[in-house]
Chains A and B, each alone.
Chain A
Amino acid sequence: MPKVIPVPDELSQPFWDAVNQRRLMIQYCTVCGKLQYPPQATCQVCGSAHNLEWKEVEGKGHIGAYITIEDGRLNRRMPDQPYNLAMVTLDADPTVNFYSNLPGTPAYEVPVGAAVELTFEEVAPGQLIHEWRVLE
């Protein structure tokens, strides 16, 4: 069923452009070496806006925790219920995490701690979102 469609803004446009090319580009402070996601106007460590660049990261992560949405509030996702929502930590920096519905994993059957890999899903013509799939 259809997911809600993200609307890029000035700050997030490079991120979504990369996703639409099936790449995961994360903000990176060249001074602190810190990756940050979602993108922010300034580095969360040094507070500077001047040293933030985009860096492609490897799409490998692990499932830190999950829930199963049974009675959510989003109209567009009602037909999907129940569905999983996992918190996926990025292997390159586990303090960075992402949400995932874990396509291919049945509701309630989420292997917490398992390795996942990046995948993409089209939510509107030409608009992809980043998703994660459990590695067999």
Chain B
Amino acid sequence: MTNSNDFQWRRDRDGLGVWEHRGKVAIAGYGHSPVDRRWDGENLDTSLGAYTILACQKAMEQAGVTIDQVDGIVCCDSHIAGGSGGSASNWAPRPYFAPPYDSEYGITLINAQWLIGAMGFKNVKFAPTGVPTIGEMVGMASQAVGDGVCNTCLVIYPTGNLEGRYRRGGENADDYARGARQWTVPWGNHGGNDFINIFPHNQYCLKYGGEHDDLAPFVINQHKNGMLTPWGFNVNHGVEPITVEDYKTSRYILNPLRIWDCDRPVNASVAYLFTTAERARDMKSQPVYVLNHSQHNFRFRTTQPDLDEVEMWTDRQAARMYEGAGMGPADVDIFNPYDGYAIMTQFFLEGFQWHGVKRGDAFAFYAGDISVKGPHPFFSSGGNLGNGRTRSAMYTDSIEQLRGTAGDRQVTVRAETALCAFTTPSSGGWLMLGKYPS
């Protein structure tokens, strides 16, 4: 097995020009498992392994692809809660079960090796280790298929969650702060994207005028779109739509960051099937073409990124993405950036200037009509806030909008191109999709 870094797949520099495989790679299918709040630690039909197998089966079935045709597996093997886990005692070590659930793999972790064994893939020639998150995986798969490293590639992103408060155990329960944590944790910053982005967000409110709760219409709209997403967490678990009053009276986490600004951790898995445009045309479902992929991992210049840094980073992301796709802001019909904290979304909206929104204009834009049936159907997926922390709604909605299969979420404006991401201002990746290859 090759490490993901052995293959030069990243488009993570400025000025790379139009992507050489623009329109020659396609997504031919996707599959979602059910989205649960947590795994109960017992039911093997709802483990992350079982859900991953299910997601892969659905993606292959939608594309009309069989096990023997799959020759690439790009699977994220990291535990979504990382070193901080949940309630430490419930995560591991634990008693195990009969194969294929006789190790942590298949239960709270999935990797390509486990999946190949569990599902019986026979012809996989590309299954890298050390795979990053979905924001970059979709780019890795696109480049691998474009370069001919593999032809038909499953991209799998499992997101695990067990009993106990999310990320309350492990290193967050430690009395000592080691490594990079020595510069943040002694003062109370445990090191998440909530902390990274809330300071620039506060500076944003001061600089451009506005207040934190101006996010309310955006967050509420995410919930509305989530209620129109049949596979999502909210719609299947009785999450009631929220009102402006609910939002403004909700409890604070990192004041002014509120509970409704945070996405809900879930236990779920998703799979996407990438293949060549040529092969996709003969497959069972309508293909959606990849027009560009890009990545970024900007180095912090000091402890805490500030507004200037975040705006510069998102400007550069936009420039790379538009350049590689040969497109500009006016060419993007569907825009699904990232909301794994509501406070970061305005930086993407303004950096990419979707629907002409410039720096400082986001809150006024949120206050207008951003509904899926209106003229500015911003974030039509509902993102993580509307569907749970699967980090995949942005991709699935984009595919569905271009295919015209988004159901009650289908936009009424043109839907021929879609820009989607799992990213933060500092790191992650973007994917541009098209209904047509050019």
Interfacial residues of chain B within 183-229, with CB under 8 A of chain A in the complex: 183-190, 192, 195, 198-200, 202-203, 206
Taking the closest CB of chain A, its distance from the CB of B87, in whole angstroms, is 11
Interfacial residues of chain A within 37-67, with CB under 8 A of chain B in the complex: 37-38, 44, 64-67
B66 interface residue per 8 A CB criterion: no
Indicate if the CB atoms of B306 and A71 lie closer than 8 Å.
no
Indicate if the CB atoms of A99 and B253 lie closer than 8 Å.
no
Kindly report which residue of chain B lies nearest to residue A44, judged by CB atoms: B301
A112/B199 contact (C-beta < 8 A), A37-B302, A38-B303, A97-B306 known: no
A99/B190 contact (C-beta < 8 A), A68-B254, A70-B252, A72-B254 known: no
Q: How far is the CA of A95 from the CA of B251 in the complex (A)?
A: 32
Indicate if the CB atoms of B254 and A70 lie closer than 8 Å.
yes
Q: What is the count of residue pairs linking A and B with beta-carbon distances less than 8 angstroms?
A: 130
A31 interface residue per 8 A CB criterion: no
Indicate if the CB atoms of B168 and A73 lie closer than 8 Å.
yes
Interfacial residues of chain B within 287-333, with CB under 8 A of chain A in the complex: 299, 301-304, 306
Q: How far is the CA of A99 from the CA of B302 in the complex (A)?
A: 11
Chain A residues positioned under 8 Å from B301 (CB to CB):
36, 44, 95
B24 interface residue per 8 A CB criterion: no
Residues 105-116 of chain A: 1 if any B CB is under 8 Å from the residue's CB, otherwise 0?
000100010000
Interfacial residues of chain A within 85-136, with CB under 8 A of chain B in the complex: 85, 87, 95-101, 108, 112, 123, 129
Indicate if the CB atoms of A129 and B186 lie closer than 8 Å.
yes
Within the complex, which residue of A5, A64, A99 is in contact with B176, where a contact is CB–CB below 8 Å?
A5
A23 interface residue per 8 A CB criterion: no
A22 interface residue per 8 A CB criterion: no
A75/B177 contact (C-beta < 8 A), A8-B182, A38-B303, A85-B188 known: no
Chain A residues positioned under 8 Å from B253 (CB to CB):
70-71
B255 interface residue per 8 A CB criterion: yes
Residues 171-182 of chain B: 1 if any A CB is under 8 Å from the residue's CB, otherwise 0?
011111111111
A33 interface residue per 8 A CB criterion: no
B-side interface size class? 35 or more
Indicate if the CB atoms of A87 and B199 lie closer than 8 Å.
yes
Residues 151-173 of chain B: 1 if any A CB is under 8 Å from the residue's CB, otherwise 0?
00000000000000101100011
Chain A residues positioned under 8 Å from B192 (CB to CB):
73
Indicate if the CB atoms of B182 and A83 lie closer than 8 Å.
no
Indicate if the CB atoms of A36 and B302 lie closer than 8 Å.
yes
Interface of B is mostly: mixed
B257 interface residue per 8 A CB criterion: yes
Chain B residues positioned under 8 Å from A100 (CB to CB):
187
Chain B residues positioned under 8 Å from A99 (CB to CB):
183-184, 186-189, 303-304
Q: How far is the CA of A38 from the CA of B174 in the complex (A)?
A: 21
Chain B residues positioned under 8 Å from A32 (CB to CB):
none
Indicate if the CB atoms of B255 and A68 lie closer than 8 Å.
yes
Indicate if the CB atoms of B190 and A12 lie closer than 8 Å.
no
Within the complex, which residue of B177, B203, B256, B257 is in contact with A6, where a contact is CB–CB below 8 Å?
B177
Chain B residues positioned under 8 Å from A69 (CB to CB):
188, 254-255
Chain B residues positioned under 8 Å from A8 (CB to CB):
182
Kindly report which residue of chain A lies nearest to residue B256, judged by CB atoms: A67
B103 interface residue per 8 A CB criterion: no
Indicate if the CB atoms of A101 and B306 lie closer than 8 Å.
no
Q: How far is the CA of A71 from the CA of B314 in the complex (A)?
A: 29
Q: How far is the CA of A73 from the CA of B84 in the complex (A)?
A: 9
Indicate if the CB atoms of B188 and A72 lie closer than 8 Å.
yes
Indicate if the CB atoms of B198 and A74 lie closer than 8 Å.
no
Taking the closest CB of chain B, its distance from the CB of A120, in whole angstroms, is 12
Residues 26-37 of chain A: 1 if any B CB is under 8 Å from the residue's CB, otherwise 0?
000000000011
Chain A residues positioned under 8 Å from B190 (CB to CB):
72-74
Within the complex, which residue of A37, A76, A85 is in contact with B189, where a contact is CB–CB below 8 Å?
A85
Within the complex, which residue of A4, A65, A66, A87 is in contact with B175, where a contact is CB–CB below 8 Å?
A4
Taking the closest CB of chain A, its distance from the CB of B175, in whole angstroms, is 6
Q: How far is the CA of A69 from the CA of B179 in the complex (A)?
A: 22
Chain B residues positioned under 8 Å from A75 (CB to CB):
168, 172-174
Kindly report which residue of chain B lies nearest to residue A85, judged by CB atoms: B188
Indicate if the CB atoms of B256 and A96 lie closer than 8 Å.
no
Indicate if the CB atoms of B187 and A101 lie closer than 8 Å.
yes
Indicate if the CB atoms of B172 and A74 lie closer than 8 Å.
yes
Q: How far is the CA of A12 from the CA of B69 in the complex (A)?
A: 52
Q: How far is the CA of A4 from the CA of B174 in the complex (A)?
A: 8
A74/B306 contact (C-beta < 8 A), A5-B177, A9-B179, A67-B256 known: no
A-B contact pairs, 7 of them (CB 8 A): A4-B181, A37-B302, A38-B302, A72-B188, A74-B188, A76-B175, A85-B254
By Cβ-Cβ distance, the 6 closest A-B pairs, closest first, are A99-B187, A6-B182, A68-B255, A38-B183, A65-B202, A75-B173
B→A interface (CB under 8 Å): 84, 165, 167-168, 172-190, 192, 195, 198-200, 202-203, 206, 251-257, 299, 301-304, 306
| 10 further interface pairs, Cβ-Cβ under 8 Å (given A67-B257, A85-B188, A99-B187) | A4-B174, A4-B181, A6-B177, A6-B182, A7-B178, A36-B302, A38-B180, A38-B303, A83-B188, A87-B306
